[in-house]
Amino acid sequence: MKGSLDDLLKRRIKTLIVENCDLDIQIEDIDDEAPLFESASMLELDSIDALQISIAIQNTFGIAIRDSKQMRRVMKSINSFADYIQPE
């Protein structure tokens, strides 16, 4: 199953982001398609948060994000994140 269709995985990713970035937000309030890093994003994440998340993903799922272009593509939204972690 593609990650974007796996609600349990998406919930894990949201929890990982909220806990690792110390966000004062309920995971239910994070939209699966909403941008994570743009200025309009409700999460207000930045490049240091992106690094924090990428290392947390590596430690939790054993998946490394190797370069910044890939990081931008993967961390576009919760759905893109989930599809990267679980492509099929």
Partner 1 sequence: MYIHSFGRFVGHPVEDIKYYKQDVSQYTQLHFRRANRFVLLSLAGACRCVHGRGIGKDTGVYLTTENGNLGDTEAVLDQIFHQHQFPMPYNFINTMSNTASFYVAQSLELFGRNLTLSSKQFSFERGLELLRSDQLCGAVKEALIGGVDEAYFSGQQFATKFERNADTIDMVEGSCWLLIKDREEGALGRVAAIETFANMSQVLSWMKARAFQGPVQAGFGLLMSAPEKQAIIVALPHSSPFDYISDYGYYDSATACGVTAFLERYQGNCLVHVNKDFLGQFVVLVIEQR
Report the interface residues with partner 1, using CB under 8 A: 20-24, 48, 51-52, 55-56, 58-59
Closest distance between partner 1 and the C-beta of residue 22, in Å?
A: 5
CB contact set of 52 (below 8 Å; sequence gap of 6+) = 20, 21
Give the whole-angstrom CA distance, residue 39 versus residue 67: 22
Name which of 5 and 55 has its Cβ closer to partner 1. 55
Name which of 13 and 21 has its Cβ closer to partner 1. 21
Closest distance between partner 1 and the C-beta of residue 17, in Å?
A: 13
Give the whole-angstrom CA distance, residue 17 versus residue 14: 5
Give the whole-angstrom CA distance, residue 29 versus residue 2: 22
Closest distance between partner 1 and the C-beta of residue 26, in Å?
A: 16
